[in-house]
Structure 1
Amino acid sequence: MKTLIVIPTYNEKENIQAIVPAVLAQNLSVDILVVDDNSPDGTGAIVREMQKSIPQLHLLSRPGKQGLGKAYIAGFRWGMDHGYEAITEMDADFSHRPEDLGPLLSKLQTHDFAVGSRYISGGRTVNWGLIRKIISRGGGIYARMILGFPLNDWTGGFNAWKKEVLIGIDLSTVESNGYSFQIELKYKALKKGFKGAESPIVFEDRRVGQSKMSLKIVIEAFYRVWIMRFK
């Protein structure tokens, strides 16, 4: 399948120069789309310079910071418009390891979408504090109980989708933009009858920069799960 890796960025100049060659070094015959929200640190300009020597690299520049969910949806639509059959979400900060990309994509040979999972055998987190572990693990259990599907990692953002799934769930109906965005995508796909598989990943804390997690994002996820369930 013609495959695109979508990497959203906002102030990721230190990471983007390393993550792009690390992904391509996996020899998976993928292209990369950086969706940059007009990063003040010049991330977009760095990507444009890298494009001169990396033909597999593409850039979608947006006028300002509009949230992770909207960045991914813009990337999904760009990918579908350009003929990609599979589209993968991936962070720029190495919290999603490039070496886990191959096993994740291989799940699409037998399933409609694949979830990079920290909470199945072989998956784990590294360098996380206790509070973050509780929020992440607890959030997944909470979503699983309310939404009713036996998925172990609802909140993770290292996921691969066949084009048919993204078309089927209708991206225009996705309302979440923060932490709950990943939950909503998976729930809509499962409700539509698409088959997902989980692939173990090792999730490390970001190497450079600060986490974009906030209390507002966590609270949004807490109440939006109920909206998803009963809408």
Structure 2
Amino acid sequence: MERTPGRVLVIVPTYNERENLPMITRRLREALPDAYLLVADDNSPDGTGRIADELAEADDHIHVLHRTSKQGLGAAYIAGFHWGLAEGYDVLVEMDADGSHQPEELHKLLDALTDGADLAIGSRWMPGGKTVNWPFSRELLSRGANTYVRLVLGIPVRDATAGFRAYRAATLQKIGLDDVESQGYCFQVDLTLRTVRQGLRVAEKPITFVERTVGSSKMSRKIILEAFWRVAVWGVAGLGERFRPRR
């Protein structure tokens, strides 16, 4: 009998992903037929929201959350988390719409939760993890950012910026979502740090990250700078706790 961590909701934020959404939806439904999908669309001008509605009309495992404007990745996930928690899902998954995260590998994260993890991260930078067709500059940025996070925050996670991850509902409820303001890379680090500081278990599983072939990346200099300064602030704020003598 197959073990499962409960009802699974996969949250996929979208902004101008009309060409990718049908593909990633089909792959997810084939890989995990029992999982549910929530498309959180930021009022995409290319009609992604309309396509999401059409997919939802044809499949009762697909839901759509229409947002009024482009407010960032973190805000989209927070809205999706609140929706999923209110609907009683046991596991909430983050996954990109562009195919960079492989739905066929999601079972690795769910297995980690079943084995006792509170947060399971799909890692590019642990043994067995890899990237495909990623520019060297992006790989260098990601590796450097994760090294920076480990040094400044002292958290034992190889890929804290990873966006392919699965949370237990209880984890999200415990770490708190109402005061999260970070976005992009920084949003992922923020929630990872909160999980670690709550004493919860984080597991990493190797995945293959594939660079998108359709559409454009939402990465920007603003997102990168936000990550560096917020991590520095969190690091300074946590110094007292990290170096306080143990009794």
Q: How high is the TM-score relative to the length of structure 1?
A: 0.98
Aligned to 1:224: 230
Residue 209 of structure 1, aligned match among 212, 215, 221:
215
Aligned to 2:127: 121
Q: Report if aligned partners of 1:34, 1:58 keep a CA contact under 8 Å in 2.
A: yes
Question: 2:8 & 2:185 partners in 1: Cα distance?
Answer: 25
Question: 2:235 & 2:33 partners in 1: Cα distance?
Answer: 37
SS for the counterpart of 2:20 is: helix
Question: How many pairs were matched up?
Answer: 231
> How do 1:47-126 and structure 2 match up within 5 A?
47-109=52-114, 110-126=116-132
Aligned to 2:183: 177
SS for the counterpart of 2:78 is: helix
For 1:133, give the aligned amino acid. E
Question: 1:102 & 1:52 partners in 2: Cα distance?
Answer: 26
SS for the counterpart of 2:167 is: strand
Offset from partner CA, 1:124-162 (integer Å, 9 cap, x none): 011111211110000001001111111100111001000
For 2:15, give the aligned amino acid. Y
Alpha-carbon distance, 1:166 to partner = 0.5
Alpha-carbon distance, 1:27 to partner = 2.9
SS for the counterpart of 1:173 is: coil
How many percent identity over aligned positions?
A: 47
Q: Report if aligned partners of 1:4, 1:31 keep a CA contact under 8 Å in 2.
A: yes
Alpha-carbon distance, 1:28 to partner = 5.0
Alpha-carbon distance, 1:175 to partner = 2.1
Q: Report if aligned partners of 1:89, 1:159 keep a CA contact under 8 Å in 2.
A: yes
Alpha-carbon distance, 1:52 to partner = 1.9
Structure 2: gaps (5+ residues): 1-5, 238-247
Offset from partner CA, 1:188-231 (integer Å, 9 cap, x none): 01001110100111001112101111111111111110122233
SS for the counterpart of 1:149 is: coil
For 1:7, give the aligned amino acid. V
Question: 2:181 & 2:25 partners in 1: Cα distance?
Answer: 30
Structure 1: gaps (5+ residues): none
